[in-house]
Amino acid sequence: MTGLLQLVFDGVVVGAVLALAAAGVSLVYGGLRIINFAQGDYMTLGAYVALGVSSGLRLGMVAGVAAATLCTSAFAVVLEPVLWRPLRRARAGVLSLFVTAVGLSLVLRQGILFAAGGGFQQYRVDAYSAWQVSGLRFPTEEVVAGAAALAAILTLATLLSRTQLGKALRGLADSPELTAISGIDPDRLAVVVWALAGALAGLSGVLLALVETSFDTNLGWDQLLTVFCAVVLGGIGSTYGALIGGIVLGLVMELATWSGFAGGVPASYQLVVAFVALVAVLLVRPTGILGRSRIL
């Protein structure tokens, strides 16, 4: 039983971290029809910025997390007028936008490799400190990362449900035409979307690096599929859905390894489990958990 509880804890932490990145993907797709293939590399960027600030400049981990969030957000915002706006003006299709994102992903990942080098990195945190409660082990950085991720999820959900901006963003995903006639400036909205998506990716990246304790330049790239699975699971374009999808997926992947569950699936098959869960959900609900069905 303690084994199961431990897995639930791990699943929620990993799931909450992935949910942040997935929410970013969802916002960008819902608002701009861009399948952001570079989201994983935005996460990696965040992790390395935090490394530079916390270890390189010795400013501590809190400053590192803040810097990761802000810098990744700024980076995503800068690319909007440089890269995406001209494409939007040229009426680029989903495919052109996707290929551009693939290109960006390559440039970014190789650029980080070029700048930071290969090999594994660690933050200057005590990887062995943990709270022990009746047989359960809660490593400090996992607790902190999980708490931070959940706090960010709540903030985002509040932002989306309570503010005018959030409502506009959600409306955009449901019906781009409707937003177009409602008088919102698309360029301004795009900047907001990228700022949010970048911040979410950066934060998710540094938290993921904390949870995994050591990381390299493939940190985010390796999680990209899981992040996309979370988005589809929750319903494409639904940011709430992506948040839920991320947590569900984290739980499913961890719980599948539980020995009480037919001996447990080997950890190397976690991704397969995630995919099977996705297909199972789509068979029942073709548009994911919270996705809208198509209306002619």
Partner 1 sequence: MSSVFNVQFWAYVGVIAGIYGILAYSLQLQHGFCGLLNFGQVAFMALSGYTMAILVVKAGLGLWAASAAGLAVAGVFGVLMGIPTLRLRADYFAIVTIAVGEIVEYLASNMTSLTGGAAGSINLLGPQNAASYDGAWQDAVSRVQSWLGHAIGSAATATVATMAVVWVLLVLVALAVWFLVRSPWGRVLQAIRDDEDAAAATGKNVFRFKLQVLAVGGVIAGLAGLLFAFESATISPTDYDPTITFYAWTILVLAGTTSIAGVPLASVVFGILFAGVLFFTFPPFSYLGSADRSYLQLMIVGAALILLMRLRPQGLLGNRQEMLLG
Partner 2 sequence: MADAGTSGEARAEGGDVGGPLLDVRAVGVTVGGVRAVEHATLSLREGAFASLIGPNGAGKTSLLHAISGFYRPSAGEIHFGGRRIDGWPPHRVAASGLVRTFQRGRVFARLSCLDNMRLGARDHPGEQFVANLARPRARRRREAEVTSEARELLAAVGLGPKADDLAGTLSGGQRKLLEFARALMCRPKLVLLDEPMAGVNPTTGRQVMERIAQLHAAHSLTVFFVEHQLDVVMAMSDHVVVMAEGRVIKSGPPEEVRSDQAVHDAYLGSRRRREAVGRRGDEALAARAPGRDEAGLR
Interface residues toward partner 2, by CB under 8 A:
171, 177-178, 181-182, 292-293, 295-296
Nearer to partner 1, 31 or 139 (CB): 31
Tokens of 56: 């390189």
Could you say whether residue 159 binds partner 1 (CB under 8 A)?
no
Instruction: Name 173's Cβ contacts closer than 8 Å, sequence gap at least 6.
Output: 26, 29, 30, 31, 237, 238, 239
Q: Choose among partner 2, partner 1, none what residue 5 binds, the Cβ cut-off being 5 to 8 Å by kind.
A: none
Q: Choose among partner 2, partner 1, none what residue 258 binds, the Cβ cut-off being 5 to 8 Å by kind.
A: none
Candidate list 81, 111, 135, 260; residue touching partner 1; CB under 8 A: 111
Could you say whether residue 95 binds partner 1 (CB under 8 A)?
yes
Could you say whether residue 284 binds partner 1 (CB under 8 A)?
no
φ/ψ of 261, rounded to 5, equals -100, 80
Query: CB 171 → partner 2: shortest distance, Å?
Result: 8
Cα three-residue angle 205-208-212, rounded to 5 degrees = 140
Residue where the block lists tokens 């390796």 = 222
Residues 174-233 that bind partner 1 (CB under 8 A): 225, 228-229, 231-232
CA distance 153 to 276: 26
CA distance 47 to 68: 7
Report the interhelical angle of 186-212 vs 61-79 (nearest 10°): 150
Binding residues (CB under 8 A) for partner 1: these are 29, 35, 83, 86-87, 90-100, 102-111, 113-114, 118, 225, 228-229, 231-232, 236, 266, 268-269, 271-272, 275, 278-279, 282-283, 286-288, 294, 296
